[in-house]
Amino acid sequence: IVLTQSPGTLSLSPGERATLSCRASLSVTSTYLVWYQHKPGQAPRLLMYGASTRATGIPDRFSGSGSGTDFTLTISRVEPEDFALYYCQQFGSSPPWTFGQGTKLEIK
Amino acid sequence: QVQLVESGGGVVQPGTSLRLSCEASGFTFSSHPIHWVRQAPGRGLEWVALISSDGTYKHLGDSVKGRITISRDNSKNTMYLQLSSLRDDDTGVYYCAKDRGTRYYLGMDVWGQGTTVTVSS
């Protein structure tokens, strides 16, 4: 299964709403769809699992939704610490469990 | 404190081998699958390999198949990755990460800080 993320880069100002898309080439059981945040020089961080459940410590401005082939990560009001790379990944198919190519959320 | 610590990175010559280690603490290591993920300079995340909690099942990424050996020693809370016939495009930061699942693979909820591998002559 190939995951395609869009947009490649999202330029927003703090306080704006961010909508990140992850589209799968085949249907994915939402149980197995996850999102990560990755900042330069740091380890990636699990944001969402099961497509819509926030991982431990993730603020409620982050939300996930979707099913089948279309999934969305939404940040209701972007904070300065949210500017980073975001990746989706799925474990519903046989390996390899590739990541999407990533969306860069940058400050406008 | 739940933690993973990678070691074994460095500068290595093309065609040689290296072994990376991933030592865990703060959780029941033997209950969880462990992944390796890497990031080449300027590129996105690449899933590399997974070993099941008891070491029975091993899944490998296409770019490393035939060149990689993964194993774990649950008595030492440590997982190992050996990569041979190293190429320039093996250069990058290698992360080990714990799967939040036990029987099923559900995503990586604990990550090490990474170890850097540079393949260069």
Average pLDDT over residues B13-23: 97
> Which amino acid, residue A77?
R
> Which amino acid, residue A22?
C
Residues of A in contact with B106 (CB under 8 A): 31-32, 34, 49-50, 91
Confidence of residue B103 (pLDDT cuts 50, 70, 90): confident
Across the interface, which of B62, B106, B112 has its CB nearest the CB of A91?
Answer: B106
Across the interface, which of B45, B50, B104 has its CB nearest the CB of A44?
Answer: B45
Confidence of residue B105 (pLDDT cuts 50, 70, 90): confident
How far, in Å, CA of A97 to CA of A106, rounded?
26
Q: Which chain A residue is nearest to residue B62, measuring alpha carbons?
A: A96
Average pLDDT over residues A6-17: 98
Confidence of residue B85 (pLDDT cuts 50, 70, 90): very high
A92 or A87: which carries more pLDDT confidence? A87
Whether A97 and chain B come into contact, CB under 8 Å, resolves to: yes
User: What does DSSP assign to residue B1?
Assistant: -
Residue A9 pLDDT > 90: yes
pLDDT digits (tens, 9 = 90+) for B56-76: 999 999 999 999 999 999 999
Whether A40 and chain B come into contact, CB under 8 Å, resolves to: no
b or e along B6-21 (b: 16 or more beta carbons within 10 Å of the residue's beta carbon)? beebeebeeeeebebb
pLDDT digits (tens, 9 = 90+) for B90-100: 999 999 999 99
Give the pLDDT confidence score for residue A93 in this predicted structure. Answer: 87
> Strand pairing partners for B35?
B50, B97
- C-beta atoms of A44 and B59 within 8 A: no
Give the pLDDT confidence score for residue A92 in this predicted structure. Answer: 87
Residues of A in contact with B105 (CB under 8 A): 32, 91, 97
pLDDT digits (tens, 9 = 90+) for A20-49: 999 999 999 999 999 999 999 999 999 999
Give the pLDDT confidence score for residue B68 in this predicted structure. Answer: 95
Residue B104 pLDDT > 90: no
Report whether B9 contacts B21 (CB < 8 A).
Answer: no
Q: Hunting for tokens 């770019």 — which residue is that?
A: B63
Across the interface, which of A95, A99, A100 has its CB nearest the CB of B50?
Answer: A95
Q: Which chain B residue is nearest to residue A93, measuring alpha carbons?
A: B105
Q: Is B55 exposed, middle or buried (0-12, 13-18, 19+ CB in 10 A)?
A: middle
Residue A12 pLDDT > 90: yes
Q: How far is CA A18 from CA A21, A86, B21, in A?
A: 10, 11, 38
